[in-house]
Amino acid sequence: MEVSENEAQEQIQRLVQSDLFRFSELQRRLLAYLAEKSIRGEADQLKEYTIAIDALGKPESYDPRRDSAVRLQSGKLRQKIREYYLAAGSSDPVLVDFPKGHFKLVFSHRDVSAPPDPASNGSRPRRIALAFWLALTLILAGFCAYLGNRVFHLEQAQRASAATAAWPPAVEEFWGPFLGSKDLTLVCVGAPLFVKLTDSGFFRDSEVNRWDAAEGLELKRKLKRAFPGETPEPWLFYTGIGEAAGAFLIGNLLTARGFHLNFADSGQVTWNEIGQHSVVFVGPPKFVPQIEELPVTRDLIIDHLGIRNLKPNPGEPAFLGDTYTDSQHHDSLSYGLISRLPGLHGKGAILVLGGTWTAGTLAASQYVTLANHLQELVAHVSLPSGKLPAYFQVAISATVKRGTPVEITYVFHHVLQVRDHRDR
C-alpha cells in the first residue's frame, strides 16, 4: 500500500520536530522543501540551482560549479535521516529514504513483519565501537544539538536565580555587549571537513577544508585508487576537542547568567541567523568560513600556519606560529585569537574565538570564561577612560601539555576602528 500524502507530511513533521533537526534551520528548510516537491511529484525535475535559490536562500548568481552547498547540505540531510531512524524514529510507521544521486525523497510503510536482519545486528556493535573510538579524538558536531537541548532545560530550572546572578567586574565588562540583547545568543561551532568512504571510514587532510577545493586534490585521487568502487563524499559531522570544549565553557558561563542560547555547527548556520542574533564563533576560519566573510576589517587573522599581524605596532611580531615539542603534537606553545566585533547591521555583537590548532581555540575559550584571565585582558585593553573599546582583538599564548592548556598569557592587542557595516 502506498504512503498517502497525509502520512508523508505527518512523517516529515516528526523529523522536523525531532531533537536532531531542532537546532538546524537550514536542514529543516531543505527537508521540508524536498518533501513538498517529492509529495507533489516534482522532485525528478529539481536542479542544484533551483534548490540553492528556493531552499538554501542563495543569491541568483549562485553557480553550482563553484559552490557545492547543495551537495554538501544534501549529504548532511541524508545522514541525519539515517541517524533519526536509528534512534528517535526506530518505531515510526513511515520510512523516509533519500537515495544518492537524486533529490527525491521516497516514502514507504515500515514492514513490521520482517524478521531482524542478522547482518544489521552484527554490524551494530561495530558501529557502537567505532562511535566510541571516534569520541576519544573527535566530538560529533551533533553534540551541539544535544548541548542546546540540555542548556534549554538548565535555563528553565535556573531562570529565577540566574537573573540576579552577579559576575566579577572584568567578566561583566567583557561580556557587556551581549548582556543588552534580550534575543538569543547563537554559539556556532566550527566543523572541519572530512572525506567519507561508505565502507572504509573517514579521512582528513588538515590542508583541505572546502569540498569544492578537494575535488581536484591528490588526496581524493589516492582514495579512489586505494578504495576502488567507493565514492568519496564530504562529511561535516565532527569537530575538534578544543572547539567542543570551548562551546561547553561558553554555554556554562552564559546560561548561569540567564542567557538564551542556541547552538549550531558552521555548516548549518545561515547569514540570516547571524544577522538576527549576537553570535559566538568557536573555531578558526578554516572550520568557520563565515568568519572570513564578516564585513569588518581586522588587523589580526588566522591562517593555516598561525596568526598574522597585518598592522604590527613597534615591537610586535608580524606572525605567531605554534611550536611543538613532541612528534605527536601533544605538547606545544599554541596561540589563540579573541576578536570582539560588531554584529551585522550594527545589531548585537560577534565574538570569535579560535586558534590554528584546536588547543588554541580551547585556550581562547578558557581565557574569556575565567575571571582572572579577563582581569588581565581588561587591564591591558581598556582605554584611558577605564572602559573597554567597543571592538578589539587580543592575541594570547598557551603552554599546552597533552593537549590541555596549562598556562595562558596575554601577548598583545589591537583596538579596531569600525566605521560602517555592509548590508548582506
Query: What pLDDT does 376 receive?
Result: 96
> Is beta strand 404-415 parallel, antiparallel or unpaired with respect to 392-401?
antiparallel
Query: What pLDDT does 70 receive?
Result: 85
End-to-end Cα, the chain, rounded Å: 48
Instruction: Report pTM.
Output: 0.65
CB atoms within 10 A of CB 131: 10
- Tell me the average pLDDT across 258-286: 86
Query: What pLDDT does 140 receive?
Result: 45
Residue 362 predicted with pLDDT over 90: yes
Q: Where are the alpha helices (DSSP H) in 25-141?
A: 25-39, 48-54, 69-86, 118-137
Query: What pLDDT does 162 receive?
Result: 46
CB atoms within 10 A of CB 82: 12
Say how far apart CA 219 and CA 221 lie, in whole Å: 5
**Nearest C-alpha neighbor of 280 from the set 305, 259, 302, 301:** 259
Assigned C-alpha cell, 285: 576560519
- Tell me the average pLDDT across 91-105: 88
Q: How confident is the model at residue 171 (pLDDT cuts 50, 70, 90)?
A: very high
- Tell me the average pLDDT across 159-182: 73
Residue 86 predicted with pLDDT over 90: no
**Nearest C-alpha neighbor of 283 from the set 361, 207, 366, 204:** 361
Query: What pLDDT does 418 receive?
Result: 76
Residues with Cβ within 8 Å of 374's Cβ and at least 6 positions away in sequence, in order, are: 168, 170, 171, 173, 174, 367, 368
Q: How confident is the model at residue 72 (pLDDT cuts 50, 70, 90)?
A: confident
> Is beta strand 185-189 parallel, antiparallel or unpaired with respect to 261-265?
parallel
**Nearest C-alpha neighbor of 25 from the set 144, 139, 106:** 144
- Tell me the average pLDDT across 255-284: 86
Say how far apart CA 323 and CA 302 lie, in whole Å: 15
Contact 407, 398 (CB under 8 A): yes
**Nearest C-alpha neighbor of 247 from the set 394, 341, 144:** 144
Angle, to 10 degrees, between the axis of helix 358-367 and the axis of helix 371-381? 80
- Tell me the average pLDDT across 156-164: 44
Say how far apart CA 46 and CA 375 lie, in whole Å: 55
Q: How confident is the model at residue 215 (pLDDT cuts 50, 70, 90)?
A: low
- Tell me the average pLDDT across 298-310: 92
**Nearest C-alpha neighbor of 149 from the set 20, 281, 13, 238:** 20
| Average pLDDT score, the chain | 81
Contact 96, 11 (CB under 8 A): yes
Q: How confident is the model at residue 25 (pLDDT cuts 50, 70, 90)?
A: confident
CB atoms within 10 A of CB 269: 25
Query: What pLDDT does 383 receive?
Result: 95
CB atoms within 10 A of CB 121: 9
Residue 352 predicted with pLDDT over 90: yes
Residue 261 predicted with pLDDT over 90: no
Q: Cα 66 to the chain's mean position, in Å?
A: 22
- Tell me the average pLDDT across 143-171: 55
Residue 394 predicted with pLDDT over 90: yes
Contact 408, 360 (CB under 8 A): no
Q: How confident is the model at residue 239 (pLDDT cuts 50, 70, 90)?
A: confident
E strands within 326-403? 332-342, 349-355, 392-401
Query: What pLDDT does 118 receive?
Result: 42
Residue 411 predicted with pLDDT over 80: yes
Backbone angles phi and psi of 86, in degrees to 5: -80, -15
Q: Could you tell me what percent of the chain has a pLDDT over 70?
A: 82
Helix (H) or strand (E) holding 233: strand 233-235
